[in-house]
């Protein structure tokens, strides 16, 4: 079964946008960007992800994706990951849960977040 993951997906609860620009059914990977805000800081980061069709033949499909931003002297370390499923052959939405860690400085000030809510194809 071939996926058609390419597109723009929005998460209303986190106000993030996932844009999938490339996907490869042969190895179940995809790439694109994830943009949003973390503690008032805007980000637009390269996203990498994976998916697998149930029993290797079709829906439902499991999915995961993540982003990371290494810290600099002017920006915090950000890591965010999402996992979930989709059962629609049109991939109209991903039912996912996510987590984010934000390491703010060398003293170890950090914040951890947990999210839920679908990414819906636009």
3-state secondary structure the chain: CCCCCCEEEEECCCCEEEEEEEEECCCCEEEEEEEEEECCEEEEEEEEEEEEEECCCEEEEEEEEEEEECCCCCCCEEEEEEEEEECCCCCCEEEEEEEEEEECCCCCCEEEEEEECCEEEC
pLDDT at 8 over 60: yes
Report pLDDT digits (tens) over 17-61.
999 999 998 899 999 999 999 988 899 999 999 999 887 777 788
Report pLDDT digits (tens) over 93-112.
999 999 999 999 888 899 99
The domains located in the chain, with CATH, are 7-121 (2.40.128.30)
């Amino acid at each position: 079964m071939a996926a058609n993951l390419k597109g723009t997906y929005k998460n209303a609860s986190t106000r993030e946008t996932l844009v999938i620009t490339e996907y490869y059914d042969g190895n179940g990977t995809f790439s694109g960007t994830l943009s949003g805000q973390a503690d008032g800081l805007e980000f637009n980061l390269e996203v990498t992800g994976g998916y697998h069709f149930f029993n290797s033949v079709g829906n439902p499909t499991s999915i995961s994706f993540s982003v990371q931003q290494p810290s600099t002297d002017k920006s915090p370390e950000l890591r965010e990951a999402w996992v979930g499923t989709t059962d629609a052959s049109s991939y109209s939405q991903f039912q996912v849960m996510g987590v984010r860690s934000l390491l703010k400085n060398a003293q170890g000030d950090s914040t951890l977040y947990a999210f839920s809510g679908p990414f819906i194809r636009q």
